[in-house]
Amino acid sequence: MRLSPVRLIRPKRFGDARGWFTEVYSEPAFAALGITCQFVQDNHSLSAPAFTLRGLHFQTPPRGQDKLVRCIRGRIYDVAVDVRRGSPTYGQWVGAELSAENGHQLFIPIGFAHGFVTLEPDCEVTYKCSNTYAPDHDGGIRWDSVGIDWPISAGAAPELSEKDKVQPPLAAFDSPFDYDGNPLAPLV
């Protein structure tokens, strides 16, 4: 089975009566998984209301960003959408619940739009990026234009930024990302 370019990472936790310890990033361990980018920036966000939706975001070439995302307080549903032109999985998405409790992380490579929705109040998310923020290369697509099954309670509307309310739909997006021959696959 071919591995997806988007990867769900499940770091091991070592616990005792005091609590637990985990290694969330190790360059050699990630290289063994085929993740060889160099991270140069760490970001941290707090989303106060439940069902805060951030995304779907990316940075365009030459300032694209690989991301390694984890939730350190609360629970989120984290999503990556293939936006590489020519990809047989263009517009398809994968998602996973990341929480402080499960400790899982999602690796999202360049060429994928990223977003998440908080599943409870006061969620904190941290993520590593392989490039620094570049406002001239900041981009996105509309959160509701891809068919993502967002786990938002019936009757609830997501909390969106003004920027995310006006992103173009996927159908109107002219992708600057090239397909690398590695199609999106289900997370394992």
Residue 172 neighbours by CB distance under 10 Å: 10
Length of the chain: 188
DSSP letters along 128-185, please?
Answer: EESS---GGGEEE--TTSS-------TT---B--HHHHTPPPGGG----EEP-S----
Catalytic amino acids? 57, 127
What distance in Å separates the CA atoms of residue 188 and residue 31, rounded to the nearest whole number?
18
What distance in Å separates the CA atoms of residue 93 and residue 48, rounded to the nearest whole number?
26
Residue 109, exposed/middle/buried by CB under 10 A (0-12, 13-18, 19+)? buried
Residues 187 and 7 sit within 8 Å (Cβ to Cβ): yes
The secondary structure element, H or E, covering residue 70 is strand 67-73
